[in-house]
Amino acid sequence: MRAAVLRDGRMVYRDDVPEPVPGPGQVLVGVKACGICGSDLHFAAHGDEVVEMTAQVSAGAGGMAVDLNSDVFMGHEFSAEVLEAGPDTDTHPPGTPVTSLPLLLSAGGVEPIVYSNSTIGGYAERMLLSAPLLMPIPNGLDLKHAALTEPMAVGLHAVNKSNIQPGETALVLGCGPIGIAIVASLRARGVENIVAADFSPKRRELATAMGAHQTVDAAQGSPFDTVKPAVVFEAVGVPGIIDDVLRRARPGTRLVVAGVCMQPDTVHPFFAIAKEINVQFVLAYNPEEFGDSLRALAEGEIDVTPLITGEVGLEGVGQAFDDLADPERHCKILVTP
């Protein structure tokens, strides 16, 4: 079958990938749409660092190492349609539109559907999912929108972790897909003052479309000069930004770090100590939040239409990875196999 795979740092098209065969408890699905995630771009460019750092944090926990000298399957933001159940597997009838936590259960254990030499992800015609994890897509929700369940769940999780109350001011630093998902989730929660900062005019526009009440051009000075947030969401992920927030934030601020910085970084603990700043790092979401995210999309509480800025077939994935480097052009590109 057809798929796009990572080979030598580039996404390449293949039409000779062996057809996946569902085992017990697994379901073969046809991919309808799969979003390209910033973490995929990062893995394509710096896969060796990711593999090395992941090995450090998961030492002793097992898990399958990724061999960058072989093709790597990616794509964890998908919607799909049930095609066929594995042996002795009860599941939804063929044709049912579904999404799922990006995990594949097998006799060997649980494998994340994220970067793998063997487990096929959403940049393919067909893939395997786990019957117990399938979530039917309700309300006739557009399957392209349903593919954003996963990235929007990331925003919901960050907001849940912040425990923000509607009357508190939120400042979101960085309006890439994670920052935008945070903005949308804050708005859906009823937060009355959401401020979003970014250098890119296009991304600030997007933040407004998704619910920000005010935007700040980061090139025009620090947002802290004009905004006194109770909760700061850091969704930039570059060295120095955490320390800058600690220096500028007011006493008692809660800082939620959602940006993924892979380099070492320096902070002055004194800034945080002097102001008793609470720092919470966040990653991904729990299964309940994933379900809540799907429900919010299906019930129209969050409309992701403005986020989808492009659509490509499997042959176009390599070009789409290049195009996503320009924040003025793109937020989320969907791969529709």
Instruction: Provide the binding-site residues for Zn ion, judged by CB under 5 A.
Output: 37
Going by DSSP bridges, is the β-strand pair 26-35/77-85 parallel, antiparallel, or unpaired?
antiparallel
Closest residue by beta carbon to Zn ion: 37
Tokens of 289: 């939040």
Looking at the Cβ atoms of 37 and 191, the one nearer to Zn ion is 37
Looking at the Cβ atoms of 23 and 47, the one nearer to Zn ion is 47
Going by DSSP bridges, is the β-strand pair 332-335/103-106 parallel, antiparallel, or unpaired?
unpaired
**Cβ 30 to Zn ion shortest distance, Å:** 21
**Cβ 216 to Zn ion shortest distance, Å:** 26
- Residue whose token pair is 């939804």: 92
**Distance of alpha carbon 317 from the chain centroid:** 17
Looking at the Cβ atoms of 215 and 293, the one nearer to Zn ion is 293
Question: Within 13 Å of residue 170, how many CA atoms lie on the same side as its CB?
Answer: 34
Name residue 231's beta-bridge partners: 170, 254
Are 102 and 75 spatial neighbours (Cβ–Cβ below 8 Å)? Answer: no
Three-state DSSP class for residue 272: helix
Separation of alpha carbons 108 and 114, rounded Å: 17
**Cβ 131 to Zn ion shortest distance, Å:** 23
Looking at the Cβ atoms of 37 and 282, the one nearer to Zn ion is 37
**Cβ 112 to Zn ion shortest distance, Å:** 11
**Cβ 102 to Zn ion shortest distance, Å:** 8
Which residues neighbour 113 within 8 Å (Cβ) at sequence distance 6 or greater? 75, 76, 102, 103, 104, 119, 121, 122, 127
Looking at the Cβ atoms of 277 and 333, the one nearer to Zn ion is 333
**Cβ 49 to Zn ion shortest distance, Å:** 18
Other C-beta atoms within 10 Å of 242: how many? Answer: 24
Looking at the Cβ atoms of 40 and 71, the one nearer to Zn ion is 40
Separation of alpha carbons 286 and 1, rounded Å: 32
